[in-house]
Amino acid sequence: MSKVLIIGEHDGKTLNPATLKCVTCASGISGAEITILLLGVDTAAVAAQAAAVAGVHKVLRLDRAENAHPLAAMFAPQIVAVAAGYSHVFGPSTSFGKDLTPRVAALLGVPQVSDLMAVESAHRFRRPIYAGNAIITVEADPSRTLVATVRVASFEAAAQGGAATIETTAVDVALPAHTRYLGAKSGSTDRPDLQTANKVVSGGRALGSAENFKILFSLADKLGAAVGASRAAVDAGYAANEMQVGQTGKIISPEIYIAIGISGAIQHLTGIKDARTIVAINKDGEAPIFEVADIGLVGDLFQIVPELERLI
Amino acid sequence: MQKILVCIKRVVDYNVRVRVKPDGSGVMLDGVKMSVNPFDEIALEEALRIKERGANVEVVAVSIGVADTQQQLRTALAMGADRAVLVQTDAPIEPLTAAQTFLALAKKEKPDLILLGKQAIDDDANQTGQMLAALWERPQATYASKVEIADGKLTVTREVDAGLETIEVDLPAVVTVDLRLNEPRYVKLPDIMKAKKKPLDVSSLDALGIVASTYLKTVKTEPPAQRQKGIMVKDVSELVDVLKKKGLL
């Protein structure tokens, strides 16, 4: 039987929705018994949330003062100590998971499959290569623990309604002193998180200035949407880097993605391929974005955006 | 700081539109332009800037791959690396094997710093740097957008989903670089000529005691699913109508 250990991502208060997508992915392995492992200083509140996720068998809390920040060098040896007895170790394909899971795999001496997008069996998966321009089916050696990251854009969040047991565990491993957390800077706002938002309004270079991006923020606030940007807009200094959507930014899968003044470079389209509905607003009717858009509107964004905000 | 190792991968050039073979056995690579993985190019540029800031540093470019990978290492030498090492093999190399091979080179070369791209743009695995740091039992600083060196320590700004994070790591360390760290220099013709005289050693997995792992098997390669053709609307009110009908507003 497959036993899947999911490394839960959280900020000390809230379980990151990416973890719910990992649960859905793991549930695709027939008969899998799913455990969520939480590392932190005090994971009680997050553990209660994790235990309420449908399909989760057990929540393991690993509380330790050194776990205040998710440093891979500190987390990995603890996860390795817990991983014995599990057939699979999954993490989300977020900056947290991508940093951490290969370190776990290497310490276990096992391979990793990155960015699972579909589960075909316990050891057979599909994943994208070449920025999503090809999809491969990979078979992993079933005699070894399989470490994987889960492409969050490819799975729905697991539902509520679970009643997993919560256990506290401790591992006796020495942690290195060579890595220290100094701080974080985020451009975070009260708006929904771009990575997990259901609605995203995104702007390109056609916005023309950081000042002009305000019309997108205004529309987004009325919609309850997150705000993204193309790489061109970020490089031009109109938008913060963490707003970047695309191959070199965030790969997202909202219910609706409204691309405003974005021409649709390949690297941007790679980041929005999994959006349920793509709306494109652009003054150039020949822009490549219209080839992938479900709904297109050709016109001047500076007239269309305020009118759209008024009509919704 | 005395020595920096930069890991380089030979990949399909980023301007090539990759196509899947009709029989599903892989992607078409015949006659396709090959280049240094762009993220590795940024890693090399960072090493060269550290050297140019006055440190007496030797920059060594290392790679694993087919004989033609010498072309990419020559590019690295032309950019300014002092010497290069190719671990030549025709075997497909999984990230774990790559990490084990670079570890073997690190044990020989004893670098203070290993720089490499956060991922290669072919398999998009995003694993080798982290695995190498784990096996080397040294710190990792992934997705670096800023690297500062002082007193045997690195302060690294990392690009994470929530914004930017700063960590401090002791040397030696592994740093994987993100797009924003720097803009790599263009290679000039005289540098290409000079690079021909720089040392490029060829080694093998055998010589390093590495057996290429075959834990992962690619059984099929397919093109991605295409999206259905969409509709065009004439104005904002029609757009709003369509969105309401779809239940999206």
> B117: which residues sit within 8 A by CB, 6+ positions away?
B7, B9, B37, B38, B39, B40, B41, B42, B43, B129, B176, B177
Q: ∠ CA(A9), CA(A11), CA(A15), 5° rounding?
A: 50
Q: What is the pLDDT of residue A270?
A: 83
Tell me the CATH class for A199-311. Answer: alpha beta
Please give the C-alpha separations between residue A303 and each of A11, A239, A263, B236, B248, in angstroms, as whole numbers: 40, 21, 18, 10, 22
Please tell me the predicted confidence (pLDDT) of residue A187: 60
∠ CA(A48), CA(A50), CA(A52), 5° rounding? Answer: 75
- The matching CATH number, chosen from 3.40.50.620, 3.80.10.10, 3.30.420.40, 2.60.120.10, for A3-168 is 3.40.50.620
Identify the domain containing residue B196 by its residue range.
Answer: 3-245
- Say if the Cβ atoms of B232 and A290 lie within 8 Å: yes
Instruction: Give the closest of B99, B133, B161 to A95, CB-based.
Output: B161
3-state SS string for A130-182: HHHCEEEEEEECCCCCEEEEECHHHCCCCCECCCCEEEECCCCCCCCCCEEEE
Q: At what angle do helices A95-108 and B95-109 cross, to 10 degrees?
A: 70
Q: Which of B155, B163, B235 has its CB closest to that of A185?
A: B163
Higher pLDDT, A153 or A228: A228
The residue of chain B with its CA nearest to that of A290 is B230
Contact A123, A139 (CB under 8 A): yes
Whole-number pLDDT of residue A189: 62
Q: Mean pLDDT over residues B168-196, rounded?
A: 94
- Comparing CB atoms, the residue among A124, A140, A248 nearest residue B215 is A140
Mean pLDDT calculated for residue range B51-74: 95
Predicted confidence (pLDDT) at residue A51 exceeds the cutoff of 90: yes
Q: Does the pLDDT at position B175 exceed 90?
A: yes
Highest mean pLDDT: which of A95-104, A150-159, A192-201? A95-104
Average pLDDT over every residue of A52-62: 98
Can you give the residue ranges of every domain in chain A? 3-168, 199-311
pLDDT digits (tens, 9 = 90+) for A186-202: 765 678 888 888 999 99
Size of interface A-B (CB pairs under 8 A): 231
Residue percentage of chain A with pLDDT more than 90: 86
In this complex, the residue of B135, B138, B166 whose CB is nearest that of residue A178 is B138
Q: Which two tokens stand for residue B197?
A: 């005289």
Q: Is a pLDDT exceeding 70 seen at residue B211?
A: yes
**What does the pLDDT read at residue A4?**
98
Give the integer Cα–Cα distance in Å for A166 and A161. Answer: 15
pLDDT score for A151: 94
Give residue-wise pLDDT tens across range B99-119: 999 999 999 999 999 999 999
Q: Tell me the average pLDDT across B196-225.
A: 96
> What pLDDT is stored for residue A274 in this prediction?
84
Strand order in the sheet with A226-229: A226-229, A199-203, A256-260, A277-282, A295-298, B231-233
Averaged pLDDT, B158-165: 89
- Structure confidence at residue A253 (pLDDT): 87
Look over chain B and give the mean of its residue pLDDT values, rounded to a whole number: 95
Q: Is the pLDDT of residue A105 over 70?
A: yes
Which helix (H) or strand (E) segment holds residue A300: the answer is: none
Query: Per residue in A8-21, pLDDT tens?
Result: 999 999 999 999 99
Phi, psi of B160 (to 5 degrees): -120, 170
CB neighbours of residue A270 within 10 Å: 21
Which residues of chain A make contact with B219, given a CB cutoff of 8 A? 124, 137-139
The DSSP annotation for chain B comes to: --EEEEEE-EEE-TTS---B-TTSSSB--TT--EEE-HHHHHHHHHHHHHHHTT---EEEEEEEE-TTHHHHHHHHHHHT-SEEEEEE--S---HHHHHHHHHHHHHHH--SEEEEES--TTT----HHHHHHHHHT--EEEEEEEEEEETTEEEEEEEETTEEEEEEEESSEEEEE-GGG--PPPPPHHHHHHHTTS-EEEEEHHHHT------EEEEEEEPPPPPPP-EEESSHHHHHHHHHHTT--
Q: What is the mean pLDDT of residues B9-34?
A: 93
According to the model, what pLDDT value does residue A204 have?
Answer: 97
User: At B50, phi and psi to the nearest 5?
Assistant: -60, -45
Equal fold, A3-168 vs A199-311: yes
Q: Are B179 and A248 an interchain contact pair (Cβ–Cβ within 8 Å)?
A: yes
Mean pLDDT of B22-45: 96
CATH of the domain at B100: 3.40.50.620
Residue with more model confidence, A133 or B32: B32
Q: Determine the residue of chain B that is closest to A200 in CA distance.
A: B248
Give the model's pLDDT for residue A188: 56
Contacts of B155 in chain A (CB under 8 A): 182
Residue B91 pLDDT class (50, 70, 90 cuts): very high
B203, HSE (Cβ side, Cα atoms, 13 Å): 20
For residue B120, pLDDT over 90 is answered with yes
Closest chain A residue to the Cα of B217, Cα to Cα: A139
Which site among A74, A103, A147, A235 would you substitute to test the B interface, given the most B Cβ atoms closer than 10 Å to its Cβ? A103
Q: A140: which residues sit within 8 A by CB, 6+ positions away?
A: A111, A113, A123, A124, A125, A146, B215, B216, B217
